[in-house]
Structure 1
Amino acid sequence: MNNITLIGMPGAGKSTIGVVLAKVLGYQFLDSDLLIQKQEKRRLSEIIEEEGYKGFKDVENRVNASIEVENTVIATGGSVVYCEEAMEHLKSIGTVVYLKLSLNALSKRLGNLKGRGVLLREGQNLTDLYEERTPLYEKYADIVIDEEGKDLEASLEILLKTLKEK
């Protein structure tokens, strides 16, 4: 399959870059967080509030593991890397791209994490989340794009060049 799945921390630009990348490639665009909300008929923050940390991961795993598309750029939620079944499925249907950004740059971009529907355990902050998730993003990535100090166009240009070389 020839899909491109974008993974990375909240605020790394998965949805923003994903939409533009899809247009440039002539692909469809799918935001898996929006798919979760559509299937569950609730906002992410409501699912987390009502189902808890584990319940949300179960929903996220089920929805992402059931995605069946072609010629599509898929922007995932930042916590999808906790879902082994979903990640194996996404790798099997295309290329997984990790949009990498430093903790410092992310903290400048992000406001209220809970308001964004970010999956946090009790007492967890952005630094904890970054340190916990980074090795998982690196584990599942076929391609890593370092976005540090780059705007949307520069990140997109590097991503397109890297995809062409792959």
Structure 2
Amino acid sequence: MARPISSFDRSIVLVGLMGAGKSTVGRRLARRLKMPFVDSDHEIETAASRSIAEIFEQYGEESFRDGERRVIARLIEGPPKVIATGGGAFMNERTRRLILSRCIAVWLDAEPEILAERVSRRDTRPLLRDKEALPFLRDLAEIRNPIYAEAHIHIRTLPSPHDRAVADILKALSALRSAA
């Protein structure tokens, strides 16, 4: 008898560029799977008692990435959950190896035009400070997408409801489980 889709022995980690929907999709996916949800950026802000933007400004990106890696490692150590990561988390080799070896990595992939429209709704992205979103995101996608492609599951997100991405992830998780 097949195990129900809601029973996983490892965390599901969402990766992808800013604006891909990792937090929103992650919350909905966690509800469907009856698993806890955590947003690593929120956990970092809580641990540091500052916003991501303040951490970047005061300590720089390298220090932020080190703290991010430690927080993600701590989150992975606990019981299985759905984890939304910041866009750059998977770029850190140590973080990426940890996620790929101990979790199911899901890449939420969206066109830069969609991402630019989504991120323009909030002014909280340190990497976008004083930059035009679309050209920056195109360049970032060119650099990061080959790394995101290492994820176990690749989900193309469209300008459609996030529930469509959740359904696509559930289908891919079911196929992954069947292949195991």
Same fold (TM over 0.5): yes
Match of 1:126 in 2: 137
- Which among 147, 150, 173 is matched to residue 163 of structure 1? 173
Distance 1:162 1:112 in 2: 30
Give the partner amino acid of 2:170.
Answer: L
Moved more, 100-109 or 126-135: 126-135
8 Å contact from structure 2 (residues 107, 155) kept in 1: yes
Q: Percent identity, please.
A: 35
Match of 2:4 in 1: none
Match of 1:143 in 2: 153
Match of 1:72 in 2: 81
Match of 2:31 in 1: 23
Distance 1:34 1:2 in 2: 21
3-state DSSP class of the match of 2:12?
A: strand
Distance 2:129 2:146 in 1: 18
The structural deviation recorded for 1:53 is: 2.1
Give the partner amino acid of 2:33.
Answer: L
Q: Say what the alpha-carbon RMSD is for the aligned residues.
A: 2.1
Question: Post-superposition, which runs of at least 4 consecutive aligned residues in structure 1 deviate over 4 A?
Answer: 120-124
Question: Are the structure 2 counterparts of residues 136 and 121 from structure 1 closer, same or farther at C-alpha, using a change threshold of 3 Å?
Answer: farther
After TM superposition, the score normalised by the length of structure 1 is 0.89
The structural deviation recorded for 1:89 is: 1.4
Distance 1:55 1:128 in 2: 23
3-state DSSP class of the match of 2:38?
A: strand
Distance 2:58 2:41 in 1: 16
Distance 2:147 2:140 in 1: 11
Residues 36-57 of structure 1: CA distance to partner in whole angstroms, max 9, x if unpaired?
Answer: 1111111100000001122222
Matched, 1:102 2:111: yes
The structural deviation recorded for 1:6 is: 0.3
Moved more, 97-106 or 127-136: 127-136
Give unmatched runs, 5+ long, in structure 1: none
3-state DSSP class of the match of 1:66?
A: helix
8 Å contact from structure 1 (residues 64, 86) kept in 2: yes
Residues 77-112 of structure 1: CA distance to partner in whole angstroms, max 9, x if unpaired?
Answer: 001022111121122222000001011111121117
8 Å contact from structure 2 (residues 28, 163) kept in 1: no
What is the aligned length? 164
The structural deviation recorded for 1:163 is: 0.6
